[in-house]
Each structure stands twice: as structure tokens, then as C-alpha cells.
Amino acid sequence: MRSRCWSKLVLFVAVGGAVAPRAWADGETPPGRDPKQPVDEAYTEKIRKYTTKPYFSSPLVDYLPASKNVPTPQAVLGDVAGAPGILPYAEDVYRYMRLLEKASPRVKVFSIGKTEEGREMIAVAVSSEENLKNLEENRARLGKLGDPRSIKLDDAEADKLVAEAVPVYYITGTIHSPETGAPTALMELAYRLAVDESPYIKEIRDGTVTLITPVVEVDGRDRMVDLYKWHLAHAKQFYPWLVYWGKYVAHDNNRDAMGVTLKLTENVLNTYVGWKAQVLHDLHESVPYLYDNTIGDEPYNAWIDPILADEWQVIGWNNVSAMTKFGMPGVFAHGDFDTWSPGYLMFIAALHNGISRLYETFGNGGADTEERTLQPEEYARTWYRQNPPLPKVLWSQRDNNNYEETGLLTSLHFFTENKQRFLKNFYLKAKRSTTKPSEEGPAAYVLPGDDPRPGLQAELLQVLEKQAVEISRAKSAFTVTLPAKKPKEPGKGKDRKEEKSEAPARTTREFPAGSYIIRMDQPYSRIADALLDRQYWSPDDPQKTPYDDTGWTFGELFGVQVTRLTDIKVLDVPMDRVTGIRAPGGVKGQGTVFAINNSAEPALATLRYKLHDASIEAAEEPFESAGKKFNRGSYIVRNTSRADLDRAAAELGVEVTALGAPPGVKTHPVRAARIVLVHTWLSTQTEGWWRLALDKLGIPYDYRSTQAIAKIPDLNAKYDVILFPPVGYNAGVNAVVNGIPTAWGNPLPWKNTPETPNLVGKNDSTDDLRPGLGWDGVAHLQEFVERGGVLLTAMDTSSLALSLGFADGIGTQNASKMKIVGSVVGTRLVDEASPIAYGYEEKGAAYCDNGPIFSLSSIAGQRGRRRLGPEVRARPTGRGSLDDPDFAVGRPGVEVPEERKSETWESPPVLDEQKRNGFRVIPPSLRPRVIFRYADSKDLLVSGLVEGGDEIAQRPAVVDAPSGKGHVVLFSINPVYRGETWGSYAMVLNTILNFDSLNAGRKDPSE
């Protein structure tokens, strides 16, 4: 809500500016203006007016120095930075930065790339004229410090460079679009750094290059400004929530620093690495009033250099100290953020030898001045927050800007004062990354040259390339020693003597020529190590609420082989540096029928859609031909020219074998199904990762909201497959079907209008965000499946489909003790003949975030039984021993009917008693078919946190439930997530391409 209670504002008495606070020690430069430099009186007066309490400001920002030729932010904003009612679009922010560049030799603007929707991203360098003139020489110096191999790890040479180099401090704003304050704060910050002649600011300007990307999520910023303008124009109404930020994801844009799938991540990463920057400081707004969360809480990421952990403390505590001395309340470090996951944007610095930093300040989600009431835990005094925020305040965007700028300026100043220390650390961290093989290990990671999934292997290597990791390729085969396996427990089923003779022996492994080697003796070894290694989050960790995912091992999630090697000899293998890695592809051999082995590589689906006129069949059994083995599900391609196929296959990295004759195995068509991807208006983020994956693979789909689905009576006429990816936030039937209540309030439109020109972009629109799928929509979905369509759901939409009764014979349970928090878990293939499983091996891994826990039943309407606690099938007390039958005195003994056993993932056998008038017994051909299950309890944890895993161990992970003439395919895992789960994409793609043959290979129990 908007409030303009300016009369209530307390205008504080001018501090006078010239007075240097006494809190600063001898030798320290006190913050505050230079009395000789004139102040922009009008601007300064506005700052005071818009600051709601004097203590929400500081001597660094309570005035604005005047300049004769450099325009203040007012030139573009029409008012001061942080003024109520004013949120600039990104292009306005850029226009101002370019005005600064034109007016001052101390400012340079660089274009750093485009967003998904084609908007520009910039980085603004502010420093002394001399520093900006010598950027290239300085970059060369920083480059040498950043790659100590270039100076032969010579510390004395490094010290010389440290003495001469100017460090780069990179600040990024507004990655999270509803956190709106950073752009105006950064406009004013750039002005101050360029114009202010106070010793404090001058030291920063002369000593450091401040690099600023004022808007990271540019597409989202423009949408947010549209929404805010809508709100200003409809002051008495509720306003729509920001349902899209960027094209694909919302808040998760700050979880992409591992996969680097979004343009904003790539552009910031390239800028950070290209500038050889020392700090990446990302600005957020969700906590009162300034939380330096970089220090956060345990557990810290295990792969960062401990030097960095110390830098976090040093800079963070200095920040808290300086702002506490200014008397600004609510400035603190520590708190509830753990620093485990490396997915945050700031972590680009943490794992590229820099310093990651992050502020949470307090934003109003717009530029209204509002009364804000805090929760007790927010204003409580704690050991790390002795001067906590106030329980209730009038808060303005200007207050927020004051905190952001004051924090940044004190941070920049402390960093500059200690720049030699931080530059030396930058060198040391790079050096320690380079000496990693001998100092700490591992020596390298190897991705074998004969991996059955060269396409997925190339995808993983491309992520490492984006991360600026050096990749090499072995020129010949090589053998390395693997560490000895731990000795087994003595005496387990084996003669002790025998065990002695097989004392822990080292093993060797040979890798073929062409294997990829990720050497750990390179400056950016740590990011590769962090992505490729395994993670273990202890269930006993005192941190009980992990901030984000706990596991992410890329080899497992991409379904490719990655071997961690400690044998340092691997570094002596003859190898070449390689870039632009792509899987080989094209047609080989002679013949008119073409075969493509199926190894669950997503590129096969791309090929199917690309060659729309070709006839493609899937082999329902494995076969051998032309001296090659082909897996079940391999493609048999006909009716296409060899040239077309060769071109497409080469482009996609798919190997095709021409055969003299088609193999004599049963086949069915692989069709380019017509897909619709359904989204709610509640949240579009989790499904956004699915859109991104489909777009990247070039698989066409329609994109429709639940509201639109409700208006399409015959879905089968338009679509073969409906993808309903997770909604997020465990949205249940009420939220998805009913949406947001419409009994009160006003419609919340999401569409382009003259006042909101940027809202829709290439996404979807509606007159009112509130209505959900509705019961008509539910009926349409159900009819779609009944008539032969395939509905694919995952996680919460799987629970939704079951709650709505779309599939029978599957129950879901809520976890009681289980905690699997964004972890990599083991999976096992149950039904290799199902088309959904084509190309997969018996053992696999997938991303799981607490379920849901499926259980199967052959009885309609019955919840599957849950098996917890000890088995109660032991024989009762009686005669004989454990394996003997009991007896009853006075009557003949009877044979106990043998109980048919079933596995945890299967439906329990139908009991004779249940077959009596068994109208609820689901006929065998209509029972759900388990394709993948979770691994056994002991194999469930691959990476991350798995606590109480017994509840989901061995449970179905992917189930194909026949329903009418169609299918509901339910995932408990999330197969498409954050561009990190390439290995499980084919489970979805197989479902799509075999939509009308999902029953292939089905074996029904005879009953």
C-alpha cells in the first residue's frame, strides 16, 4: 500500500557535514564531506526530507557534493535517488550512467551482453582518471596475480605486482526484481565516487576500480517497474504479484551459478573473470535493515579456501563496526544463512579465487514510504545484533538507499585501505588452487573417452568451460592408480586367513585416448572440484534448516562418468588443452536403414523433432548389427536422405550407423508428440526450468495456463502430451484448482497495456491472475487422459493428480521423519522394457526434494500400506525352532498357506479375501507400472542430506499409471531442475516420444 504521510516525517537537523566523527582512530580517514567542496543544497535537502529518521542515515550519504559539469541522478529521475514514487527502468539507469560517462573521465560504461529477451546488461567502472586510462595494463597485472603459473609461482614477483595493481570491486544490483532499491542507490553511488573530493571517497577512487552492474535481472526489472506504475495508477486497488521475473525463472536466478544456464549468470561471470576482479558483492533486500549475510551460519561450503572464510569475517565485521559507529540500527552479520551451496551469484567470486559478498537490506518492494512492522525474531537482540532493528518504523526507499550506499562505501573504503592484503590473498588463493594436486588433492577428474553418453559428457564439459575451467584431452591411453579400498570388517563370512592374503590393494584403471582430464593444478580448480565432487550434509549438523540444496554432484546428475583421481601421475599424461567441446556425430557405414543407439541422451529427442518427415521407430529389444550393440529403445530411421540425417546428427552430436538391413526386432513408432506445458498463475519458476530445457533442446511446445486449459474442451484434438511440472510451495488442490479467492478484491491483470508495456514479454498473459484450473479444467484434464492422452506430473503436481483421482492404485504419504533437502539420491531401474526407461542402466541418480512418497496397491481406492518399523512376520512362540511349524494339541497339523511376497515398490499381491466379490481389484493391465524406484536405504544418499531415508528407500520414483485409454506418468523426483539434471531429462523425453506406445514391453501379473 502506498502512503504519502510526509507531514509525519521528522526532518532532522542538519549534521553540518563538516564535522568528522570522533569515533575514528588516529591514522584512519574519517568519513564525511570535504568542507571545501560545495554541497548540492537542493538535492541534500531532499535526502533529508525522504529519510524518515536521522539515524537511518550516515555522514557518507546525508549530503550530495555539487559538481559544475557532472549531472546528479536528478537529471534522469526528476528527483533524488530513493525518492518516493520513483522507480527507473533499466534504460533510464543506463542513460544516467552514460551521462556520467560523458561528463566525467572517472566513469566508463561497458556493455556486457544481452538478456534472454534481448535487453542490454552493463558494467560501469568508476575510478580515478589515471586508473581508467591504464585499465589494460592493470588487467594484465591482475591477470598475472590471478594465474600464478604466469609468474612461475614467484612470491617476490607477486609482491611487486601487488604493490602496483589496482584491485577491482564488482557490485551487482537487483538480481531479484521485487527488491527494487539498488539501481537508484548505485546511480548515486557512482556519482559520489566520481565527484566527491572528501579524503574518504578520494581514497576509494584512487585505490580501487569500482565496477557496477546496476541491474542484473533486466527483464525482471522492467516488469517490476511496470507493476509499480500500475500500482501508482490504481492507488486504491490491490496490484498483481510479479509472476514472471526473467523469461524463465524468478528467485532461482540467484541459484544458477553452478549450471550457468541463464544469460545474466553468464554475463556476470564473464565480467567478473574478464576483469580479474577481487570481489563480487551482490545486493538483496529482504532483511531489516542491513544483514551482511556472507558470514552467515554454518556449514560453510567445503571447497572454498579458508583464506576466503577469514576475508568474509574481516570485511563483514568491519562493515558492522563502521555502521554501528554511525549509530545506524539493525546492521549485523551472521544469522541464518548458511554458505553451503555454491549456486548463488556471489559464489562466482567465492570459487574463482575472489571474495563473495551479499547484503540483505530492507526494501518495500517499490518506492512507497510505508509503515513496517517486524516479527519478534526480526527485532530481537542477539549476540551478533546488539543494536537490532526497531519493531515498527516508517520506512522509505531513501532509507534503504542510505543503508545500501553507506554499507558499500564503508566496505569499499576498508577494502581499499587494505588492498595490498586482499590482492595478496587473491594471488595466494590462486596459487593454492594451482598447487592443489600436491597440497591437498585431488590431482584431477577424468571423464573417460569411451563414456556411452558423449553428448551429455559434452554438456557437462561445456558448463565447466563457461566456468572458465581449463579442460585437457589425453593423447593416448593411460593407466592410473586408484586409492586402496577400505579393508572389509574382519571375519564377515570369510576365513580370516583368506582375508589376510587380500590385504587392501591399490587398483589401477586404464582410460582410453581421448579421455577428458580436468587438471587441479589450474587457477580455477576449485569450481571444478566443487561441481564434480560429492557432498555430505550430516543429519546431525546443528544447522537444521539448510538454506538451499544440499547436494549437486554434476557427474551423477548429468548421468556421465566422472572419476576423482588422487594419483598425481595423471598430470604427466600427454594431453592437449581443448575448447569448444562438442560430441562427435554423423552417419557412418553403408546402407539405407539407419540405427542410433539409445543411451538416454536428450539430443535424440531433438533429432526426432528436427527430422519431422523421417520415419523413426524404437526397437523394443536390444540388438546387434554392423558389429555394434544397440540398446533397447534405439532408433531405426528411414525415409530420410543420408545427407539430411548426417547434417542433423553432426550438429547434435549423435552417432548414426547405416545398416544393410533393418534389425529383426519388434519396433514401434517414435513420434514428435504435440506438447503443451501447463503452468499456474501462482508461480512460474519451477516450470520455468522445464521451459528452459525444452527451448535449449529445440523441442516445440505450447505454453498454457491452468485458466486456458479450462477453456479448451477437447485437449486431445490439440495435444498428445500434457506436461504439468511442479508448481512449487507444495501447492495443493485448493490452490491449483481454486486459485486465489475472487470473492473480494479486484482483478489482477497480467497483460501488456500502455502503462505496462513490458509485463508479458514472450510469456503468457491473463486478465486476472487469481482464478485457477477450476473444476472444468480438472474435468478436461481427466477426459484428456481417459481418451488416450499422456499427462506427466512431478513432485507436487504428482500429488495433485493423485488427490484429484486421475490414477488409481497409487497412494502418497507425507514424510514424517524424512529430510531430503535438494539432494542427489540413488535410483534403480525396475522395468527396463518400458519406453520411459530407454537408454538407462540399472543404477542411476536423480534430484530429490523430499518426495512425495508413493506406494502402490492393486485395490482401487485403497491407500498403499506403509512399511515402517520392524517386520512382524516372525513366528509366534510355540513348539520347535524358528523354521518349524507350531502345533495345536488335539487336532491334526495344517499347512499354512504360503504368503506371496512383494517388493517395497510393488503392489502387494491381491489376497484371496480381497478377490471375494472383488469389484475393487484393479485388472492387471490397468495397474500402475513402476519404471524407476529409489535405491535401497544404504545406497540412497549420493550427495547432500538424507535423513530418515527409510521412508522413501525402494519406493517408486517414476510410475506409469494407465488411466482409461491414456496414461498418467508420475515423478516423485524432479527430473528437470536448474539446468543441473541433464541425466534425467530423457525420462521425460522418452515419455513424450513414446506417448502412444507406453505399454510396450508391459508384463502383467497373471491372476
- Binding residue for Zn ion, selected from 108, 119, 144, 176, defined by CB under 5 A: 176
- In sequence order, what DSSP letters do the residues of 755-812 get, joined into one string? TBTTSSTTS--BS-S-B-SHHHHHHHHHHHHHTT-EEEEETHHHHHHHHTTSSSSEEE
Q: Which range in 173-181, 710-718, 782-790, 993-1001 contacts Zn ion by CB under 5 A?
A: 173-181
Instruction: Provide the minimum distance between the beta carbon of 291 and Zn ion in the complex, in angstroms, as a whole number.
Output: 11
Site string for Zn ion, 724-753 (x = CB under 5 A): ------------------------------
- Using alpha carbons, select from 742, 765, 763, 773 the residue that is nearest to residue 238: 742
Q: How far is the CB of 404 from Zn ion (least distance, A)?
A: 13
SS3 633: coil
Q: Rank residues 170 and 623 by Cβ distance to Zn ion and give the closer one.
A: 170
DSSP H helix total and E strand total for the chain:
31, 41
CA dist list (Å): 455 to 195, 582, 695 = 53, 7, 17
Tell me if the bond preceding 299 is cis, omega within 30° of 0: yes
- Shortest Å distance, C-beta 283 to Zn ion: 8
C-alpha cell at 829: 531401474
Angle, vertex CA 265, rays to CA 259 and CA 271, nearest 5 = 125
Stretch of 284-292, 500-508, 608-616, 852-860 lying at the interface with Zn ion (CB under 5 A): 284-292
Q: What's the min distance (Å) between Cβ of 73 and Zn ion?
A: 23
Stretch of residues binding Zn ion (CB under 5 A), selected from 4-12, 44-52, 283-291, 502-510: 283-291
255 near Zn ion, rule: CB under 5 A = no
User: Which spans in 275-353 are helix H?
Assistant: 306-325, 347-350
Task: Tell me whether residue 147 or residue 179 sits nearer to Zn ion (CB atom).
Answer: 179
Nearer to Zn ion, 176 or 231 (CB): 176
Query: Least distance to Zn ion from the beta carbon of 309, Å?
Result: 22
Amino acid letter, 698 = G
Work out how close the CB of 284 gets to Zn ion at its nearest, in angstroms, rounded to a whole number: 3
Query: Which amino acid, residue 833?
Result: A
Listed ranges 276-284, 423-431, 799-807, 925-933: which one lies at the site for Zn ion (CB under 5 A): 276-284
Closer residue to Zn ion, CB minimum distance, 177 or 991:
177
Quick one: residue 837, left, alpha or beta (phi over 0 = left, psi -120 to 50 = alpha)?
alpha
How, if at all, do strands 635-638 and 593-596 pair?
antiparallel
Query: Which residue, 284 or 828, is less far from Zn ion as judged by CB?
Result: 284
Total of residues contacting Zn ion (CB under 5 A): 3
Q: Which stretch binds Zn ion (CB under 5 A): 282-290, 497-505, 544-552, 765-773?
A: 282-290
- What are the start-end ranges of the H helices in 851-981? 912-915, 937-940
Residue 263, helix vs strand vs coil: helix
Comparison of 268 and 931: residue with beta carbon closer to Zn ion:
268
497-501: list long-range contacts, CB under 8 Å, 24+ apart.
none
Q: Give the nearest distance from C-beta 546 to Zn ion in angstroms.
A: 17
We find the least distance from the C-beta atom of residue 179 to Zn ion, in angstroms, to be 5
Q: How far is the CB of 218 from Zn ion (least distance, A)?
A: 16
Provide φ and ψ at 881, rounded to 5°.
Answer: -110, -170
Cβ nearer to Zn ion, comparing 349 with 837 = 349
- Report in angstroms how near the CB of residue 790 gets to Zn ion at its nearest: 37
Kindly state the cell numbers that stand for 301: 561450503
For 452, phi and psi rounded to 5 degrees? -65, -5
Question: C-beta of 268: minimal distance to Zn ion in Å?
Answer: 15
Q: Is the peptide bond before 88 cis (omega within 30 degrees of 0)?
A: no
Q: Smallest gap, in angstroms, from Cβ of residue 236 to Zn ion? A: 29
In the bound complex, what is the minimum distance in angstroms from residue 241's beta carbon to Zn ion? 15
What residues have CB less than 8 Å from 428, skipping those under 6 apart? 307
Helix ranges, 380-512 (H): 397-417, 419-434, 436-439, 454-466, 496-501
Query: Which is closer to Zn ion, CB of 172 or CB of 472?
Result: 172
Q: Which stretch binds Zn ion (CB under 5 A): 216-224, 281-289, 805-813, 871-879?
A: 281-289
Stretch that binds Zn ion, among 179-187, 190-198, 452-460, 590-598 (CB under 5 A): 179-187
As measured in angstroms, the least distance from the Cβ of 249 to Zn ion is 13
Pairing mode, if any, of strands 721-724 and 675-679? Answer: parallel
Nearer to Zn ion, 184 or 963 (CB): 184
Distance between CA atoms of residues 279 and 265, nearest Å: 16
The rounded distance, in Å, linking the Cα atoms of 48 and 61 is 10
Stretch of residues binding Zn ion (CB under 5 A), selected from 107-115, 176-184, 589-597, 900-908 = 176-184
Nearest Cα residue to 905 out of 828, 833, 966, 1000: 828
Distance of CA 249 to the CA centre of its chain: 10
Nearer to Zn ion, 284 or 334 (CB): 284
**Cα 526 → chain centroid:** 19
HSE-CB of 786 using CA atoms within 13 angstroms? 9
Give the residue with the Cβ less far from Zn ion, 89 or 362: 362
Q: Give the chain's largest Cα–Cα span.
A: 115
Contact present, 276 and 143 (Cβ < 8 Å): yes
Q: Which part of the chain contacts Zn ion (CB under 5 A), choosing from 168-176, 217-225, 495-503, 525-533? A: 168-176
Residue 283: count other Cβ atoms within 10 Å of its Cβ: 28
Among the listed ranges 172-180, 737-745, 750-758, 827-835, the one in contact with Zn ion (CB under 5 A) is 172-180
CA distance readout (Å), 159 to 142, 153, 340, 352, 436: 12, 11, 32, 20, 21
Question: Which of 284, 519, 564, 610: binder of Zn ion (CB under 5 A)?
Answer: 284
Toward Zn ion, which CB reaches closer, 106 or 176?
176
Q: Which residue number, 287 or 468, has a Cβ lying nearer to Zn ion?
A: 287
Q: Which stretch binds Zn ion (CB under 5 A): 178-186, 598-606, 686-694, 767-775?
A: 178-186
Nearer to Zn ion, 176 or 431 (CB): 176
| Residue nearer to Zn ion on the CB measure, 332 or 537 | 332
Comparing CB distances to Zn ion, the nearer of 89 and 291 is 291
Q: Which residues sit at the interface with Zn ion, rule CB under 5 A? A: 176, 179, 284
